[in-house]
Amino acid sequence: FEQIIKLIGLISINYKIAPVELRERFYFEDSEKLVFNNLLKKNVGVEGLMIISTCNRTEIYFEFENHIGEEKKFLHSIVKELVEFKKFKDSLSPYLLYYTQSHEVANHLFRLVSGLESMMVGEFQIVEQLKNAYNYATRRKMLGPILKRMIQKSLETGKYIRTNTGIDKGAVSVSYAAVEQVTKKYKLSNSKFLCVGLGETSRLVIKHLKQKKISKIKITNRNKNKAINFCNELGYTFIDFENFKNEIKNSDVVFFLTSSKKMLLNKSEIKEIIKLRKNKLIMIDLSVPRNLPSDLNIEKLEIINIDNLKDVVNENYKKRKKQISKAEEFIDEFLIEFNEWTHSRTLRPSILSIKNDIENGIIEQTLSELNGLKEKNPKEVEIVDRKLNDVVKKYTNSLVKKIKKVSKNGKDEKAIKVINQIFLND
């Protein structure tokens, strides 16, 4: 039994234990993944590899079926290659999470893909990141059979949990909550947006708007070069900061996302802007301190600020957290299925040997005695061949079922030893 549970391992450098400066040092581009894979194959003997690398984590999943009993030494060798590959001179140990048992690795990955290991519970951006890492490793033939099966099962788990729980429902960030609120309330796909400021929250808002298929976005910022480079990269329009008040007249939705300690617009300025407009204006102030006055009650103007959104965000987060135990129950069920499959692989050599022996003993021997008949009546030989195959399949399937039952599907170590002694050739 010990021989089969230690098949895959994991080394993780993630936001829970490692600062962003260190995570950045160990980020992997796709081209680096293949180079590192070849390096580990040559120097360590890794038989399968997949690397997930995002802003929050770098995780190295590896397969080591032929290194049973040498897990710690094997793990140390991979870490040694990793620090040398990334030219890291300090100790990496305090920033590492690692597992060397299949059940532990699978449990971590199933939790990860289900949103339970995300900074914000239930966020499923990791699903696409995992799919991209898996597809890259598959195309480059980097995966072993155990690792491949585990990743496929994890994706199945994540999909099931998204469908059968509410763990990903409701916005749990202020930026996303703001976008959700206005896009659900109004049809804004053709509306004109203006983002005042280009900090981290602004970038998140723009990302969420893009996901909602909103493309008419203009951006203004005090740092002109920073904003121009960002706009050129994504195909948006830059507006000089000095002109943003005039631009509001031509906009339908305006986000204020600056770190300004002073208000950017006063009540009289806003009233003048509204007078020059025909349509309603939505202004969303996510700045701290606020960029807009609080006592605005003007016709054809809707104001949304952080205070309006905090209660929604907190309530949604509470709802998501209540779904964690339900998601963990589903994960346990999928882990049982994966472990059953993993254990059953112990019987694979004996099952293959049984099938080969029976096929060689019955089919080939019988057909060799029918060589003369083959020349005279080939159709008759085809019928005999087909019938023999049916008999072999029926007999081997029955034998395999009995072997699985006796060995408790590969979990009984003593039974496996006896089965291997009987059916495996020396």
Identify whether 231 is a catalytic site residue.
no
**What does residue 28 show for φ and ψ, rounded to 5 degrees?**
-110, 120
Radius of gyration of the CA atoms of the chain, in A? 30
Catalytic residue among 20, 35, 55, 406: 55
Asked if pLDDT for residue 1 goes beyond 50, the answer is no
- What is the model's pTM? 0.62
Per-residue pLDDT tens for 315-334? 778 888 889 999 999 999 99
Q: Which whole-number Å values give the CA distances from 389 to 160, 163, 364, 368, in the listed order?
A: 39, 43, 11, 15
- Residue whose structure tokens are 């004996």: 350
pLDDT tens string 383-419: 766 777 777 677 666 666 666 666 565 555 666 666 6
What tens digit of pLDDT does each residue of 261-310 get?
Answer: 889 999 999 999 999 888 899 999 988 788 998 778 899 999 988 877 87
Q: To the nearest whole number, what is the mean pLDDT of the chain?
A: 84
CB 410 within 8 A of CB 347: yes
Is residue 4 scored above 50 in pLDDT? no
DSSP secondary structure code for residue 236 in this structure:
P
Please, are residues 63 and 1 in contact by the beta-carbon 8 Å criterion?
Answer: no
Which of 42, 105, 48 has the alpha carbon at shortest distance from 77?
Answer: 42
CA distance 186 to 170: 18
Q: How far apart are the first and last CA of the chain?
A: 21
Note the Cα 393 to chain centre separation in Å: 40
